[in-house]
Amino acid sequence: MPDTAQARDWSTTTEADLSLIMRIIPHRYPFLLIDKVRAIKTGEEATGVKNVTFNEPHFQGHFPGAPIMPGVMIIEALAQTSAVLVGLTLDLVDKEPLVYFMSIDKAKFRRKVVPGDVVDLHVKVLRGSSKIWKFQGTATVNGEMAAEAEFMAMIDLSARG
């Protein structure tokens, strides 16, 4: 656990490794779907990275012999990227926030995401406040659009101890 006597200004953070991600969002295996967040501009945008491997549990049933990452998992990875962005923007590191989807709109899926792919998850803030945030997200593989969506989420600090 970090030394709480030393305050840190997270607003200048431009990259979050797995350790920092886990200090911001509560997700853990098998539902932690991002490996890194880079190009962070707090309050504005960020790009998450998801390294897709065959060892992920959803590939056992989606689909045997032809593994494809479920579209809802791609949208969730976009949302986790946005949660890291908001966590840094609002100084929520080590404060155990919970983030809840409120809506998902304009979701489109353009290409399959399969084991071996590296997915870039770009999120841009459309609207943000202390609790309610709206984002536009795109997921790409090698520069090719895999998925896109707009989504809203609520940040809740009261649900944790």
Domain at 59, CATH number: 3.10.129.10
- The answer to whether the CB of 68 falls within 8 A of the CB of 113 is yes
pLDDT at 5: 45
91 within a domain of the structure (yes/no): yes
User: What is the Cα Rg of the chain in Å?
Assistant: 15
CA dihedral 161, 49, 100, 106 (to 10 degrees): 170
Total H helices, total E strands in the chain? 2, 6
Is 27 one of the annotated active-site residues of the chain? no
131 within a domain of the structure (yes/no): yes
134 within a domain of the structure (yes/no): yes
Domain that holds residue 70: 11-156
Percentage of the chain beyond pLDDT 70 is 94
6 within a domain of the structure (yes/no): no
- The answer to whether the CB of 17 falls within 8 A of the CB of 84 is no
Split into its structural domains, the chain has a count of 1
pLDDT per residue as tens digits for the range 74-120: 999 999 999 999 999 999 999 999 989 999 999 999 999 999 999 99
pLDDT per residue as tens digits for the range 33-60: 999 999 999 999 999 999 999 999 999 9
Tell me 30's DSSP state: T
The catalytic position among 27, 58, 62, 122 is: 62
pLDDT at 150: 98
4 within a domain of the structure (yes/no): no
3 within a domain of the structure (yes/no): no
161 within a domain of the structure (yes/no): no
140 within a domain of the structure (yes/no): yes
